[in-house]
């Protein structure tokens, strides 16, 4: 059986003023996969996620999600398609409680009883959040805020999750926890497109990967092959 393509980015170009940020970028994500985008700071990884979720205008090229053209349809429409973006820097609602943040994630859902069941599942997955459900989110540690950002995204019942630098600024022990959680979410049936500075960790859990340099895809392949590629080792794995 052929792989079911969930996301297809086709020759996408994005500009910031006169800066050509993405140059004919094409990627595919199959249903059930973890696919990672790796590259140096400023390579365009975040721009790809922002183009997919319509936070950035695509100048030319197409974005298809479940075979439907979603290029430039407006970011608010994307959430209702169950394509959810966890941005870099977490962006939680700092003045709301943990519980209120989670329920904000469910605003696009019709079935609230189902959402409450999901909330309990999230509390089982993130016991730390359960202990702090009444706490103001802005007072959580960085790791707890990242868990909350992931939990809030899961409350939207995503089929495809775009994750931008989930390990940024976190202690190594917390990074391990976050990557365990990413794998658990994937095993539950959510497809994941992961942007990550920690290329070693990302490739160790991904099925496939793309290497991005100055707005262009320069390498793609199975994660197990990329992690052993001399060029990748030298540039991104600190070897």
* 161 neighbors 84 (Cβ within 8 angstroms): yes
Q: pLDDT of 162-194, one tens digit each? A: 999 999 989 999 999 999 999 999 999 999 999
> What's the rounded mean pLDDT across residues 11-21?
96
Predicted pLDDT of residue 76 = 84
Closest CA relative to residue 90, chosen from 38, 168, 172? 168
Cα 136 vs. chain centroid, distance in angstroms? 25
Q: pLDDT of 63-84, one tens digit each? A: 999 999 999 998 888 988 999 9
The answer, yes or no, to whether residue 110 has pLDDT greater than 50, is yes
> What's the rounded mean pLDDT across residues 115-143?
93
Phi, psi of 167 (to 5 degrees): -95, 0
Predicted pLDDT of residue 107 = 86
In the beta sheet, which residues pair with residue 16? 19
Q: pLDDT of 218-228, one tens digit each? A: 999 999 999 99
Predicted pLDDT of residue 1 = 43
Give the total residue count for the chain. 239
> What's the rounded mean pLDDT across residues 120-131?
93
The answer, yes or no, to whether residue 234 has pLDDT greater than 70, is yes
Tokens at 9, concatenated:
């980015």
27: left (phi over 0), alpha (psi -120 to 50) or beta: beta
In the beta sheet, which residues pair with residue 7? 29, 65
The answer, yes or no, to whether residue 151 has pLDDT greater than 90, is yes
Q: pLDDT of 41-67, one tens digit each? A: 899 999 999 999 999 999 999 999 999
Query: What class is the 1-82+160-166+191-239 domain?
Result: alpha beta
DSSP 3-state of 152: helix
Predicted pLDDT of residue 91 = 85
Letter string b/e over residues 130-155, b meaning 16 or more CB atoms within 10 A of that residue's CB: eebeeeebeebeebbbbbbbbbbbbb
Predicted pLDDT of residue 132 = 96
Predicted pLDDT of residue 7 = 98
Residues 6+ apart with CB under 8 A from 235: 40, 211
Tokens at 192, concatenated:
């994941």
Predicted pLDDT of residue 2 = 59
Cα 184 vs. chain centroid, distance in angstroms? 14
Predicted pLDDT of residue 79 = 87
Query: pLDDT class for 113, splitting at 50, 70, 90?
Result: confident
């Amino acid at each position: 059986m052929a792989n079911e393509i969930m996301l297809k980015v086709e020759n996408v170009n994005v500009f910031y003023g006169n800066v050509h940020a993405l140059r004919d970028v094409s990627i595919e994500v199959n249903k059930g996969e973890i696919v990672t985008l790796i590259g140096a700071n400023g390579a365009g990884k975040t721009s790809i996620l922002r183009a997919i979720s319509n936070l950035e205008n695509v100048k030319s090229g197409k974005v298809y999600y479940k075979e439907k053209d979603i290029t430039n349809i407006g970011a608010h429409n994307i959430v209702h398609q169950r394509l959810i973006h966890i941005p870099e820097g977490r962006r939680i609602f700092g003045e709301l409680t943990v519980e209120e943040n989670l329920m904000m994630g469910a605003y696009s859902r019709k079935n609230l009883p189902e959402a409450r069941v999901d909330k309990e599942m999230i509390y089982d997955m993130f016991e730390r959040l359960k202990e702090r459900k009444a706490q103001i989110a802005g007072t959580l540690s960085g790791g707890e805020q990242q868990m909350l950002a992931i939990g809030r995204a899961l409350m939207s019942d995503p089929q495809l999750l775009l994750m931008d630098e989930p390990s940024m600024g976190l202690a190594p022990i917390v990074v391990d926890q976050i990557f365990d959680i990413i794998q658990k979410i994937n095993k539950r049936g959510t497809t994941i497109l992961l942007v990550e500075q920690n290329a070693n960790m990302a490739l160790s859990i991904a099925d496939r990967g793309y290497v991005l340099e100055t707005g262009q895809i320069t390498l793609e392949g199975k994660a197990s092959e990329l992690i052993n590629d001399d060029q990748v080792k030298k540039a991104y794995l600190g070897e």
